[in-house]
Amino acid sequence: MLMDLCELSPSYVRSIAPYQPGKPISELARELGLKEEGIIKLASNENPRGIGPRTRAAIEASIADIARYPDGNGFELKQALAKRYSVDMGGIVLGNGSNDVLELVALAFLGPGRAGVYSQHAFAVYPLATQARGARSIVVPAKAYAHDLDAMAKAIDDETYVAWLANPNNPTGTFARGEEIEAFLRKVPERVIVVLDEAYNEYLTQDLRADSVKWLKRHPNLVITRTFSKAYGLAGLRVGYALAHPTVADVMNRVRQPFNVNSMALAAATAALGDMEFVARSYADNLQGMKQLEEGARSLKLEFIPSHGNFITIRVAQGGKSAADVYKRLLKRSVIVRPIAGYGLPEHLRVTVGTAAENEKFLSALAASLKE
C-alpha cells in the first residue's frame, strides 16, 4: 500500500492551516466565465495607483542584467534605506516581501520548546511562521478587535522568544499609539524579540506616526518590518525589509536564502524609495477612498472597524449568519473582496481601498448583494 507521504512531515507542520490569499482576477474569470476587464479586486491590500514612472524606468533598465544573479547583499537598496532612516547598513535585512523577513525571525529565534505570542485576529503569517518552526502559539484575546498589549506582555512565559505586533493590524486596521508600544517594549524581557510589523505605516496620518526607528537604540530586541508592497505599489515584485540591532540582523541574514530578493525588485524598490511624491499621492488617495467606503458603509447601516490601513473591515452579516454568502454574491457581480472567517471574523469582509470608481462599484454591488 502507498505510504501516506503527509505523515512524513512533523505533526506541527501537518496541523498548519494553509494561508488563504485573495482570489486572483484570472481565477474568478475562469470559474464564473466573466471578463477579466470587468472584475475588480479589492482583496489583497494592493495599491490601486500602480507604480510611478521612475520606478517603471528602473524596472525596465534592470532587464539588461537579468541573466546575472542579484546582489545578494542588496547594497544599493540598503544604502538608500540606511540614509533614509539614519541606521547602519548592518542593521538592515532585506526580504522577498516583508513576509520573508517575518519568516526569517521565526527561523532565527523560534523552534520546538519555544513560543511566539500574538493577538487574536492578528496577521495570518504570525501563526504560520510560529507553527512551521514547531514553536507553541500563545494567542491573546483581542480588546475591541485590537491587540491587548498589557495582556500580551503578561502572557509571555519562560519559553516565549518572539512577540508579534502588527501596527496597524491586518485585517482589523486597528492601531496602537507610540506610547503604548514603548510601554510594551519596556515590560517585555530583553530575551523576547519584539516584531513590530509596520506594513501599513505609510498610510498613518502624521499625528499618529511614531518614530519607531528611534526605539531600536534603547531596545536591541526590537525588529521593525516594513514593505514595498503597499504604499510603494510593488506587491508583485516582493520586497520588504527589517530594521534591527546589527546582531539580530546578522542572525536573520544567516538563515535567509543568499539571493532572496531578485534584481528587478532591488532596482524597483531603490527607485520607489526615492519617489516620495508617489507615496504622498498614494496616502492622499487612500484617505479619500477610506472616507468614501466609510460613508458607503454608514449609508448601508453597516458597522465597520475604523481602520488605519488601506483596507476596511465591514460587518455584513449578523446573528450567526456568515459573510460568505455576501462574498459569493459580490463575486457574481465581478467584485473580489476578502472573507476573514479564518481570522475569527466570520461576519465581516475585508475590503481594500481602491480607486474612486472601484470603491463605487464595490458599494453598489454590496448594496445589491445585501438586498438579494
Asked if 98 interacts with ligand PLP (CB under 6 A), we say: yes
Q: How many helices (H) and strands (E) does the chain have?
A: 14, 13
Nearest to 170 by CA among 302, 45, 355: 45
Asked if 313 interacts with ligand PLP (CB under 6 A), we say: no
Among 47, 131, 160, 170, binds ligand PLP (CB under 6 A): 170
Asked if 47 interacts with ligand PLP (CB under 6 A), we say: no
Binding mask of the shown chain, residues 52 to 91, with x at each position contacting ligand PLP by CB under 6 A: ----------------------------------------
Binding residues for ligand PLP, total number by CB under 6 A: 13
Cα–Cα distance for residue pair 261/283, rounded to 1 Å: 26
Asked if 240 interacts with ligand PLP (CB under 6 A), we say: yes
Cα–Cα distance for residue pair 253/221, rounded to 1 Å: 16
State the nearest-atom distance from the C-beta of 296 to ligand PLP, in Å: 23
Across the beta sheet with 115-119, the strand order is 92-95, 240-244, 222-227, 193-197, 160-166, 115-119, 136-140
Asked if 268 interacts with ligand PLP (CB under 6 A), we say: no
State the nearest-atom distance from the C-beta of 279 to ligand PLP, in Å: 15
Binding mask of the shown chain, residues 103 to 132, with x at each position contacting ligand PLP by CB under 6 A: --------------------x---------
Cα–Cα distance for residue pair 301/294, rounded to 1 Å: 10
Half-sphere exposure of 17 (CA within 13 A, CB side): 9
Residue placing its CB nearer to ligand PLP in the complex, 208 or 300 = 208
Asked if 292 interacts with ligand PLP (CB under 6 A), we say: no
Among 151, 208, 235, 370, binds ligand PLP (CB under 6 A): 235
| Contact range with ligand PLP by CB under 6 A, out of 93-101, 147-155, 173-181, 291-299 | 93-101
Asked if 199 interacts with ligand PLP (CB under 6 A), we say: yes
Give strand pairing partners of 93.
Answer: 242
Asked if 97 interacts with ligand PLP (CB under 6 A), we say: yes
Nearest to 51 by CA among 292, 264, 358, 357: 264
Helix residue ranges, H only, the chain: 11-14, 25-32, 53-62, 75-85, 98-109, 125-132, 149-155, 178-187, 215-218, 246-255, 263-274, 276-299, 324-332, 356-371
State the cell numbers at 127: 501563526
Asked if 172 interacts with ligand PLP (CB under 6 A), we say: no
Q: Which residues of the chain form contacts with ligand PLP (CB under 6 A)?
A: 45, 97-99, 123, 166, 170, 197, 199, 227, 229, 235, 240
